[in-house]
Amino acid sequence: MTLGSASARPTSSRFPSAHSLIVGGRLFLIDCGEGCQMQMARFKVPFSRLDNIFISHLHGDHVFGLFGLISTLDMTGRLSPLHIYAPEGMQKLLDTISDQFGEPKYEIVVHTVKCHEPELICQFKNLDIYAFSLRHRIETYGYLFKEKEPLLNVIKDSIAEHNLTLEEIGTLKRGEDVVRRNDNGEQTEVLRCEDFTYRPFEPRSFAYCSDTAPFPKLQEWVKGVDLVYHEATYASDLKALSKTTAHSTSEDAAKVALAAGASKLVVGHFSSRYRNLDLLLEEARSVFPETYLAQEGMIFDIPEKLSPMKQRQ
Amino acid sequence: MTLGSASARPTSSRFPSAHSLIVGGRLFLIDCGEGCQMQMARFKVPFSRLDNIFISHLHGDHVFGLFGLISTLDMTGRLSPLHIYAPEGMQKLLDTISDQFGEPKYEIVVHTVKCHEPELICQFKNLDIYAFSLRHRIETYGYLFKEKEPLLNVIKDSIAEHNLTLEEIGTLKRGEDVVRRNDNGEQTEVLRCEDFTYRPFEPRSFAYCSDTAPFPKLQEWVKGVDLVYHEATYASDLKALSKTTAHSTSEDAAKVALAAGASKLVVGHFSSRYRNLDLLLEEARSVFPETYLAQEGMIFDIPEKLSPMKQRQ
């Protein structure tokens, strides 16, 4: 969900960068601009389910909501640790803030992100999270959220048909063939995994590309992603400015989505000078039709990609 | 205008403490909780007219909006200095923030407030501003805004009637009697100031009493104020909690307004646990009927108090 779609200068209706992401019941926050906690309250994002925050870079409009949120989480009686993934400098910043304003009762674990190509920085049961470097004026990272490959499902009817044992089912689910033997240990039958199983769903993925100038590697790094968020500070009328500030136009964003073969693109981080965003949307859609404008409170859903076999059951 | 009426934990509709005040075209900001700049944009508070910010104390819910606001003012191309009045610690805090996030192109002048009884900390042509200490868990100040005593007006008809010279008018306006003499220097006539002048208006005043436990001196310090803002974090059901946290109930606030002989009381800084504020309002009004609840975007006007003579003209 978009919590903030503005760039550095917020407007009366657009807050600085902040986004929430829910995967399998887990809540993630990606960037935390000023007012993030108010937007969470407004759009009923459950504070209690937040354990992990990913910060793209240490510019104020991506960070200034963190101090208030940390304090509010403390007031909710939180005791479990809060993990913050961010570039170098976050620990020092939090130390200064807690020197002045006090430390929360729960632990904050800062994970310093330092990489160039996509690197696995964090994994959960069903989800891998990668960081990759962007090209901005300071050290900046994008984040890629990928569901893990699921265990294979065994075709139901085949269980009774072939009298599959629990052990055999386990073997097939892991993607291995079952080799049956007689009492003498001689091979009698091979049940080929591909004949007995199907992939219950295709893993979904989401890439967050925060402030960045365009660069060719990016489209490779987010290849095949279902949903990509990409900053689009300007329309092409300010292409020159986008270069000097190391930002992207909405067309730049659309080109990344197209080249990456993404299914859907959400653009955000709009310069406050655009009162009307139609131009940004048009320019992006002329390159990549499945482009949408981020807007506070808007939810972009990635539908489950169940296999036809799974859907039938 | 109330920009934020919440206490430490904001809600979906209430932002942390922040208030704007306009006196004779000058804009002042009093406390600057997170999201202050978004509220300013939302309620069309003119950023360009802001030169002075008064911070009551260095708790996050009164300060966390400052960093983003400073950055936004920089993006507007501001060059004139910004004055911040705050307790000890503000300079260090701003230094750390600018170490990490860069310094604005304009100058920030920090005025460290340090006093007990009301002390004049800043004066403008028509306005004096005093700070006075409050009783909170950390060093905290209230602020008193007082219009200056106006020059006296000379009753129009008397100018022609007594052939008053410009010099004589000047003397009368300053509150002095005019002594007329003949060529020999002998006194011939005394024009008594009180017979020739009137006070064009009564100076207005506003007191801001941020987080504080009740204490007797406060009502003396804000004696006769027209409008008083006083925190009212709790209703009387949480009187005990208000004591341990060094806060006030709405009844405490009302008692201050009553004892001070204020004309109007605005209460704010409401604990997020009160979804409905009727109880806080009722309890305050039972002591001081002219009590109003602060609400985002609400303007509390202090009407000009013109003399009957002025109104006739």
Q: CB–CB of A8 and B101 under 8 A?
A: no
Please give the average per-residue pLDDT across B55-63, as a whole number.
97
Q: How far apart are CA A219 and CA A14, in angstroms?
A: 28
Selecting among A31, A61, A211, A226, the annotated active-site residue is A61
Nearest CA in chain A to B137: A101
Q: Say what percent of chain B tops pLDDT 90.
A: 86
pLDDT < 50: residue spans in chain A: none
Q: What pLDDT is stored for residue A150 in this prediction? A: 87
CB-based contact B188:B182 (threshold 8 Å): yes
Search chain A and give the residue with CA nearest B75.
A9
Q: Where residue B307 falls among pLDDT bands split at 50, 70, 90?
A: confident
> Is A60 close to B75, i.e. CB distance below 8 A?
no
pLDDT value at residue B313: 52
> What integer is the mean pLDDT of B256-279?
95
| B94-to-A187, A231, B108 alpha-carbon distances in Å | 76, 29, 9
A194 to chain B, any CB pair closer than 8 A? The answer is no
Give this prediction's pTM: 0.87
Q: Which of A60, A75, A96 sits opposite B9 (nearest CB)?
A: A75
Can you give the pLDDT at residue A160? 87
Taking 90 as the threshold, does the pLDDT of residue B19 lie above it?
A: yes
In total, the C-beta contacts within 8 angstroms joining chain A to chain B are 87
pLDDT at B312: 55
Mutate to test the interface with A, among B31, B45, B67, B71 (most CBs of A within 10 A): B71
Chain A partners within 8 Å of B72 (Cβ): 8-10
Give pLDDT tens digits for A231-282. Answer: 999 999 999 999 999 999 999 999 999 999 999 999 999 999 998 999 999 9
pLDDT tens-digit profile of B30-52? 999 999 999 999 999 999 999 99
Touching check for A12 and chain B: CB below 8 Å? yes
What is residue A151's predicted lDDT score, i.e. its pLDDT? 87
Name the residue among B10, B89, B93 with its Cβ closest to that of A38: B10
Strands of the sheet containing A119-124, edge to edge, are: A119-124, A127-133, A141-147, A205-209, A227-231, A264-268, A291-293
8 Å CB contact of B11 and A35: no
Strand spans (E) along A139-283: 141-147, 153-154, 178-181, 187-191, 197-198, 201-202, 205-209, 227-231, 264-268
Q: Is B24 left (phi over 0), alpha (psi -120 to 50) or beta?
A: left
- Chain B residues with beta carbon closer than 8 angstroms to that of A8: 71-72, 75
Query: Which residues in chain B have their CB less than 8 angstroms from residue A93's CB?
Result: 96, 100
Residues of B in contact with A38 (CB under 8 A): 10, 12, 15, 34-35
| Inter-chain residue contact A68 with B64, CB threshold 8 Å | yes
Mean pLDDT of B177-205: 92
pLDDT band at B116 (very low <50, low <70, confident <90, very high): very high
Contact yes or no for A93 and B100 at CB 8 A:
yes
Contact B72 A9 (CB under 8 A): yes
For B196-253, the pLDDT digits (tens) are 999 999 999 999 999 999 999 999 999 999 999 999 999 999 999 999 999 999 999 9
pLDDT value for A310: 67
- Which distant-in-sequence residues (6+ apart) come within 8 Å of B166 by Cβ? none
Question: Complex ipTM, two decimals?
Answer: 0.84
Could you tell me which residues come within 8 angstroms of residue B253 by beta carbon, excluding any fewer than 6 positions away? B209, B230, B231, B232, B265, B267, B284, B291
Query: Which residue of B lies nearest to A70 if distances are taken between CA atoms?
Result: B60
Give the residues across from B100 on adjacent strands.
none
Tell me the residue type at A306.
Answer: L
HSE-CB of A300 using CA atoms within 13 angstroms: 26
Return the residue of A nearest to B14 by Cα: A38
pLDDT at position A277: 95
63-92 in chain A: CB under 8 A from chain B: 64-65, 67-68, 71-72, 75-76, 89, 92
Query: What per-residue confidence (pLDDT) applies to A41?
Result: 94
Could you say which of B31, B61, B226, B252 is catalytic? B61
Active site residue A177: no
> How do A178-181 and B2-4 pair as beta strands?
unpaired
pLDDT digits (tens, 9 = 90+) for B122-132: 999 999 999 99
Give the DSSP letter string of B183-215: TTS-EEEEE-HHHHEE-SEEPPEEEEE-S----
A37 touches chain B (CB under 8 A): yes
A42 touches chain B (CB under 8 A): yes
